[in-house]
Structures are given as C-alpha cells and as structure tokens.
Amino acid sequence: MPLTPLSASAQRVQDALTEIGLNLHVVELPGSTRTAADAASSIGCTVAQIAKSLIFRLKASDKALLVIASGVNRVDEKLLASRVGEKIGKADAAFVRAQTGFVIGGVPPVGHQAKIRTFIDEDLFQFEEIWAAAGTPNAVFRLTPDDLLRATQGQVLAVK
C-alpha cells in the first residue's frame, strides 16, 4: 500500500478495484505515464505490457467504446466498426472526461462514470503481468490479463 494518500482520481480507481474484489494496488509514480512509452519507461517494463485505454466515440449512438490495447499496437478502427455495427471516430478530451470521469493520459480500465462497452486486445494475454493507467497521468497498477478481463467484463479480440 502507498505510504502517502492517493490523489482523488487514483483513489477512485483503487476503490473500484477493491469493489470488484481484486487485490491490486494503485501507485503514483514520479514520472509520467501519459503515453505507453512514458509508462513503460517509468515502470521498467516493455511497451507491449502497457494496457492502454483508448476511448472511441460511436457516431450513430454517440456512446463511448473502450479499447484496451497493448502499448505497441495501433487499433484498426474499421475492424472495430464492423464489430459494433456502426462507424466510430476519435473522442475528444471533453467527451472522454464526460464518459469516463478521467482525463486523457490517465483513463483506467475501471471506475468510469457508467459501464462502457469494452474490447480487450488479445495480444495482452501473452504476458504474465501488464500495467494499466489508474486515473491520472502518473498513476498505474499491475495486473494480469485475466484480472483485466474480470474487472472489465470485456470482449477479447484482435484489435490491430
């Protein structure tokens, strides 16, 4: 457990993890974790082990779609659109904050304002441990791919 109190956003993520029943711990690092490369450098893992949370905007329904991808993968938006049955687009910072309650660069896979349909990159399952954002651009937590699946109840698929 951290020796100093977590920021409010990081604490929301910690509370969500506890509520789900996962014994995982959010840490706030001195370095930035805003990008997958920054996070990997601050943590000391590979970029591929970073579970980056990307929010897309479904164009017809104006709903959010969360894609949790390996830090090295670029998401194929046409593939996603075919899976959800409507066109998708990039979400701006205001949309991301309104849908998740978190800022871009710190969006976690859990603890959002409301349930968000979630896809999980199958490539994350090649690792014993992965790292996800925890509410701020310098907060993270370590978990397993199975923890991620349990926490999000997401659908695993190839996203690249």
pLDDT of residue 32: 87
- Give a yes or no: residue 120 inside a domain: yes
What value does the CA radius of gyration of the chain take, rounded to a whole number of Å?
14
- Give a yes or no: residue 76 inside a domain: yes
* The CA-based dihedral angle spanning residues 57, 142, 112, 97, taken in that order and rounded to the nearest 10 degrees: -60
Query: Residue 15: pLDDT band by 50, 70, 90 thresholds?
Result: very high
Q: Does the structure show a pLDDT above 50 at 2? A: no
Q: Does the structure show a pLDDT above 90 at 103? A: yes
Question: Structurally, how many domains does the chain consist of?
Answer: 1
- Give a yes or no: residue 1 inside a domain: no
Domain that holds residue 47: 8-157
- Give a yes or no: residue 79 inside a domain: yes
What is the arithmetic mean of pLDDT over 27-34? 90
Distance CA 95, CA 30 (A): 28
Helix (H, G, I), strand (E, B) or coil at 142: strand
Distance CA 20, CA 3 (A): 23
pLDDT of residue 20: 95
Both tokens of residue 8? 């409010």
- Give a yes or no: residue 137 inside a domain: yes
Query: Residue 31: pLDDT band by 50, 70, 90 thresholds?
Result: confident
- Give a yes or no: residue 19 inside a domain: yes
pLDDT of residue 3: 55
pTM of the model: 0.94
Distance CA 84, CA 87 (A): 8
Residue 97, judged by CB atoms within 10 A of its CB (0-12, 13-18, 19+), counts as middle
What is the arithmetic mean of pLDDT over 10-24? 97
Q: Does the structure show a pLDDT above 80 at 4? A: no
Angle separating helix axes 145-152 and 8-20, nearest 10 degrees: 90
